[in-house]
Structures are given as structure tokens and as C-alpha cells.
Amino acid sequence: MTPNTDNIGASTVDLNQQLFDRAKTIIPGGVNSPVRAFRAVGGTPRFVQRAQGAHFWDANAKRYIDYIGSWGPMILGHGHPAVVDAVQRAVTEGFSYGAPTEREIDLAQAIIDLVPSIEMVRLVSSGTEAAMSAIRLARGATGRSKFIKFEGCYHGHADALLVKAGSGLATFGNPTSAGVPPEVVQHTLVLEYNNLTQLEEAFALHGAELACVMIEPIAGNMNFVRASVPFMKRCRELCTQHGALLVFDEVMTGFRVALGGAQSIYAKHIPGFAPDISVLGKVIGGGMPLAAFGGRRSVMEMLAPLGPVYQAGTLSGNPVATACGLATLQEISRPGFFDTLASHTRELVDGLKAAANACGVPFSADSEGGMFGFFLLPQLPQNYATVMTSDGPRFNRLFHGLLDRGVYIAPALYEAGFVSAAHSTDDIAQTVAAAREVFEAL
């Protein structure tokens, strides 16, 4: 296969390396978010110069088929005309006001219209901020301190959420980052994802003290692992029984796996299913810094200025970000959008699996809407411990083999991938052909 490049005749000097060397002298690790540093896979990060549709070009003018899409937001692809137009018009009106705008109401209404469990919503600027605020709201609404999260689920880098499992079920989590005092995470209980027995025992021990259960319905930071329907059903039942709130972290899955988010998928299998609070991000900003959390009116009215739970943000509801997000939601709401997106994503996943099988490489994969994941394992894992058994060195060879051929997937074994509406059948065919070449050499 011919590498997917547009840099015929370009200099042999690696400008990515030059930029990385420069960045490392003034930015910790040379990057502003750790996974970008390529520490997990080795090599030099690609510094993006521009992007359009399903592709981006690095500092060497090499073109890549992009399966990260800013880690999910670019569901329409880069530079969608309707979104660009909306942003350009918003920019001419002002960058930020620190005062309310009509567009904030329009975006909030669009979210409420598309997600039935949300009756009121608060806009913020990042997924971390939204998740942190949702935990505070759950604690304020219930008057309780403890909460459950699951190992392998990522909810941003707030102190109480940077936690790994303790040594036993009755032991609360231990910090996973320096700078997080043990007493800050003493109320965080970390359980194994999809483990019904642990879930039952945790509620039996701590049910009266739990403010909430926070869960990614499809965990995208241990690649792509779904919560089983029985597990999710029991989460809902136990929260209701014990007076805890069920918090759905849909920063990654919201408007990415389905128009109503992952919760709409579970609602098809569990009659009456709905979370109490939903955390949203990525797609609702269309690539701009924007996130949200929302839920039942009775819960959301606990927020200041109506209630005692304080939360604020200078740039919340930013007028340029809301223009970008609203235009994105309008485009993905068009009839048939998600059917087509899901079909293209399955085409990619099925193609990769067929290529791996043909080369005798253990491989399993799954997808929903425009989100996918794969493992160099014979069966899909159900929890973080199984994900950790993946063949890291083999994945690194796959990553670099694809990168050399102009295909950009996540530079880490534990990250999901994303297909956009801009990915063509030809893009997918090129990707599968490149993967088969690499599989043959693994």
C-alpha cells in the first residue's frame, strides 16, 4: 500500500521532532495533555498543522486518516461548512461576555429535547468540570459523602476521581496521582466494572452512605468496554432502592454513539431506564471547550443561585462555543445520520477483524454509532483487569505501522477510536489495507 501522504518533495528534516524538542523545554513533557506525548507507544508526536474532513496534516505536510477526531468531538469531520459558518458569525459578535446569551438557552433546549432524562442543564467548559460538579451536586442533593466509581472509567482529573481500587471491598480508593491526599479520596469506593457481586456487596455495606454511582456506560478509556445490560439494570435498581443517584458520564458517548446518548440504548433494553444526572461533553461543543451536566429538575434546582450547591464559571456558555455546539447538534439530528455513521464504523471494525483473522492475529472489536474499539485479544474484555492483559508491545508495532502508512489511531492501548461522517468508504478501505500489511508483520 502507498503511504497516505501529500508531501512529495518535502524536506527530509523532521519538523515534528524539531517542534517536540522545542516544546519540551517550556511545556512539561512537551504537551498539554499527557497521552499526546506518545510515551505509551514511543516515538515522536505528530504536530498538527491543519485538518479537513477525515484528515489532518502534520508539520512535515504528511496527511493522515484521523480516527481520533479530537478524542470524539469531530463527529462531522474537521471544518464542516455549517459549523465553520456558525462559528465565524459568532466570532464577529464577540468572543465572551460574562453575561447570559440567547444561544445558551437554545443549546440547553436542544440537549433537553434530545435526552429525555434531562429536564434542566448547566453549561460548563470541560468534561472534568462537569463530572466534578455532578459529584458535588449528588452529594448536595442527598446529604451524603460517599460514592462509587469503577476501575478503568475516567471522569476527568478532579482529585476525588483520580483513584484506583483499594485492597478489599471495604477499603476505599487510593490516589493515583501525586498531589492527591489520601483523605480527599477516602469517600471514593472503586469497584470492578461489570462485577455484579461487588456491586451488590458494596451497597449492602455502604448503601445508606452513598450519594451516587458514577459510571461510563461505554468505557472509552480502557479502549471500548460496555456495561452489560444486567449490570446497568442492577445499578439503577440499587441506586433507587438506597436513595443514591445514578450519574451517567456521557462526555465521550453523548451524541456520539446515538442521538440520545448511550442511555437511549440502555432504555431500549431496560423499561423506564434513565439516569438521575448526565455528564456531557465533546460532541456538544463540536470541538470547542464546552461541556454540561443535567438531570431531573428537582436535583438541578439544588444548584446556585436557586439552591445551596455552588458552581460557577467565567467562560461557561461561551458564545463562540455554543454556536459551534448548536450547529453540530443540528447537523447530527438530520434523519439517517446515525444509521450511516454506524454503518461506516461497523465497516471499519469488520474490515480490521477480517484482516487480523486472515493473518492469524488475535483480535476482537466492538462499535456503537461513531465510536469503536479493538483489542489484540481473542475475546472482548469486560473489565479493566482483562484489558490490562492485552499485548502492549504488539499494539505499539501496530500503531507505528499504521502511522507510517498515514493512519492515525490513538497513541495508547487503552483509548477508543472515532469515525466521523466525513470518513469515506475509500478512507476505510485504505485503513483496512494498511492494517493488513501491518498484521502480516506482527
Q: Which of 282, 384, 414, 427 is catalytic?
A: 282
Banded pLDDT at 173 (limits 50, 70, 90) = low
Task: Give start and end residues of each alpha helix (H) in 117-217.
Answer: 127-142, 196-206
- 262-269 — which CB contacts under 8 Å span 24+ positions? 262/217, 262/218, 262/368, 263/115, 263/117, 263/217, 264/115, 264/116, 265/217, 265/368, 266/217, 266/229, 266/232, 269/229, 269/233
Confidence of residue 164 (pLDDT cuts 50, 70, 90): confident
Q: How far apart are CA 380 and CA 137, in angstroms?
A: 35
The domain ranges of the chain are 81-332, 335-367+378-442
How many whole angstroms separate alpha carbon 225 and alpha carbon 366?
Answer: 8
* Residue 149 annotated among the catalytic residues of the structure: no
Examine the residue annotation and report whether 67 is marked as an active-site residue of this protein. no
Q: What pLDDT is recorded for position 12?
A: 82
Segment 10-17 shows an average pLDDT of: 84
For the residues 434-442, what does the mean pLDDT come to? 96
pLDDT at position 8 is: 43
Residue 163 has pLDDT above 90, yes or no: no
Confidence of residue 170 (pLDDT cuts 50, 70, 90): very low
Q: Is 282 designated active site?
A: yes
Distance from the Cα of residue 97 to its chain's centroid: 29
**Contact in structure between 211 and 138 (CB atoms under 8 Å):** yes
User: What average pLDDT does this structure show over 409-429?
Assistant: 96
User: How far is the C-alpha of 331 from the C-alpha of 339, rounded, in Å?
Assistant: 14
Q: What is the CATH topology of the domain spanning 81-332?
A: Aspartate Aminotransferase; domain 2 (3.40.640)
Residue from 249, 276, 366, 427 carrying the catalytic annotation = 249
Q: Is the pLDDT at 304 greater than 90, yes or no?
A: yes
pLDDT of 328 > 80? The answer is: yes
Catalytic residue among 154, 193, 384, 408: 154
Q: Between 370 and 11, where is the model more confident?
A: 370
Q: What's the pLDDT tens digit per position in 38-97? A: 999 999 999 999 999 999 999 999 999 999 999 999 999 999 999 999 999 999 999 999
Task: Please give the CATH architecture assigned to the domain spanning 335-367+378-442.
Answer: Alpha-Beta Complex (3.90)
Predicted structure pTM score: 0.94
pLDDT in tens, 113-124: 999 999 999 999
